[in-house]
Amino acid sequence: MLSSKGLTVVDVYQGWCGPCKPVVSLFQKMRIEVGLDLLHFALAEADCLDVLEKYRGRCEPTFLFYAIEDEALSGEDECFPHEKDDGEDEDMVSSEKTCTLAIIKPDAVAHGKTEEIIMKIQEAGFDILTSEERTMTEAEMRLFYQHRAGEEAFEKLVHHMCSGPSHLLILTRTEDTEDVFAAWRTLMGPCDPNVARREQPDSLRAQYGTEMPFNAVHGSRDGEDAGRELALLFPSFKFSDKVPEASLAPQVKSSVLPRSRITDLD
């Protein structure tokens, strides 16, 4: 299976929690969209393979990528000049800009504040690269907030984020002279709306939030978070050189896995 032509993605999972089903579904959807037999998926339990010992105990999705070169394409670079196609990749971000995820949460959307918040975002000097409204699934939000799974308010937060439509935006700065992540978090204000009203009364959370977790907006903490969050919610979005490559798994390595302990999902 690992010798199959094309790209093979292996979900390295822990025995106590099982495979990362939401991401597996996402990969399978991608395989259908690609249409060619060049994308393969498999499962490997870290506890059963000595070669995967260093991946044991990780409480985060981990994937291994294996690529077999297609000889028919090996001379492609020599045959075609590297010229940019004006119509290619509408979602590609300029290499001179960084971007971050912004979410107008269900509470603010339900109160009819979406357009008002978007106007304030634009007035603050942000460009909106992508904007769409949709209701998130429980599986998406559990994966999205997995770093907060041990908190008492985790279930309430997940339930709130799935309770109705959210408005998702990808933001960059009109003038890229300021850290887009810091600028957006400053505009949002402190996480707790009550604290925001005391300390930053002009912030979005002070104006549109009520109480936790109904604080109106969400934003990525930094470039690493942006890469993880955008990969989950906007899997087809392509990133600039300054933003970490979209990946739900920071531990992407190559190694040799015994075939007998790998489950082929194709």
Catalytic residue IDs: 218
Instruction: Name residues whose C-beta falls within 8 Å of residue 146's C-beta, 6 or more positions apart in sequence.
Output: 59, 60
DSSP letters spanning 46-90? GGG-GGGGGGTT--S--EEEEEE--GGGTTHHHHS-----TTS-T
Token pair of 238 as six digits: 């392509």
d(CA 69, CA 206): 54
The CA-atom distances, in angstroms, between 240 and each of 6, 52, 192 are 25, 32, 32
The number of C-alpha atoms within 13 Å of 180 and in the hemisphere containing its C-beta is: 27
Token pair of 31 as six digits: 């395989």
Taking the alpha carbons at both ends of the chain, their separation in whole angstroms is 10
Token pair of 33 as six digits: 């969209």
CB atoms within 10 A of CB 112: 8
